[in-house]
Amino acid sequence: MADKLHFALVSPERELFNGEVDHVVVPGSEGEFGVSPNHAPVMAVIKPGALKVMTDGATRKIFVNGGFADVTPEGLTVLAEEAVDLAEIDPAKLEQELKDAQEDVRDAGGEDKRMIALRAVARLESMRAALAR
């Protein structure tokens, strides 16, 4: 049996994944990086994007909206601020949510509300880009 990497993905809501995989591609703040079994230890900040989990020839893509990746001799742990399996996203619903958020930016009645709306637009745009890749 080939070496496997122990991978755990945790968000504030739940543990999304915990198991053995072949390879994970992480959207690091300084660029994507791959983690395979026996990877050197590293800790990195994650930017919004698609985390790609490869196991037995299949790839699962999960949108992560920030967080940290910690590679140790025991494996890879990702602590994500938000994580959503891209297979669960309805592209039409995402586009409608993005249009609604863009309208919220235009209609914002103060700087605080405008900043909240801009963050929502950025999150949804990042999710759309991750879905397209």
Spans of all domains in the chain: 5-86, 89-132
- Give residue 2's pLDDT: 57
Q: 2-6, 83-87, 123-127: lowest mean pLDDT where?
A: 2-6
Instruction: Give the mean model confidence (pLDDT) for residues 21-37.
Output: 95
* Homologous superfamily, domain 5-86: F0F1 ATP synthase delta/epsilon subunit, N-terminal (2.60.15.10)
pLDDT digits (tens, 9 = 90+) for 38-81: 999 999 999 999 999 999 999 999 999 999 999 999 999 999 99
When the pLDDT of each residue in the chain is averaged and rounded to a whole number, the result is 93
Rounded percentage of the chain residues whose pLDDT exceeds 70: 98
Q: Distance between CA atoms of 131 and 79, rounded to whole angstroms?
A: 21
